[in-house]
Structure formats: structure tokens, C-alpha cells
């Protein structure tokens, strides 16, 4: 699978989420991938990036 712009764990806690949970969320994304899922993730990404929460 090619890497994308963002993913579920990046909008759900970023660095605060343990690596093994990040992998589970990546697999969840692969199963749910689609245009609507991508749009939702992009919309959720904006406030996460602006807040800086979970970033190192």
C-alpha cells in the first residue's frame, strides 16, 4: 500500500498512540479506504496540525 497524506492514528493522537496501536489503525484504514474516508481524514487533519497535540 502506498503511503498517504494522513491516516487514522495521526488524527487520533499522533505520537501519543503506541506503535502497535498505530499498526492496527493503519490496517483499519486499509479495510475502510475510500474517497469519503479520505475526505474525513483530511478534514480532521487540519485542527490536529494546528493544535500540535501529540506532536514531538
Count CB atoms within 10 A of the CB of residue 15. 12
C-alpha cell belonging to residue 34:
475510500
Count CB atoms within 10 A of the CB of residue 56. 6
Which pTM does this prediction carry? 0.71
Residues 31-46: pLDDT tens digits? 988 899 889 999 988 8
Side-chain half-sphere exposure of 27, counting CA atoms within 13 A: 6
Q: Does residue 56 register a pLDDT over 70?
A: no
More confident call, 54 vs 47: 47
Amino acid at each position: 500500500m502506498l503511503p498517504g497524506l494522513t491516516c487514522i492514528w495521526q488524527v487520533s493522537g499522533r505520537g501519543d498512540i503506541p506503535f502497535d496501536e498505530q499498526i492496527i489503525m493503519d490496517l483499519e484504514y486499509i479495510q475502510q479506504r475510500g474517497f469519503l474516508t479520505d475526505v474525513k481524514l483530511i478534514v480532521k487533519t487540519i485542527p490536529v496540525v494546528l493544535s500540535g497535540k501529540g506532536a514531538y
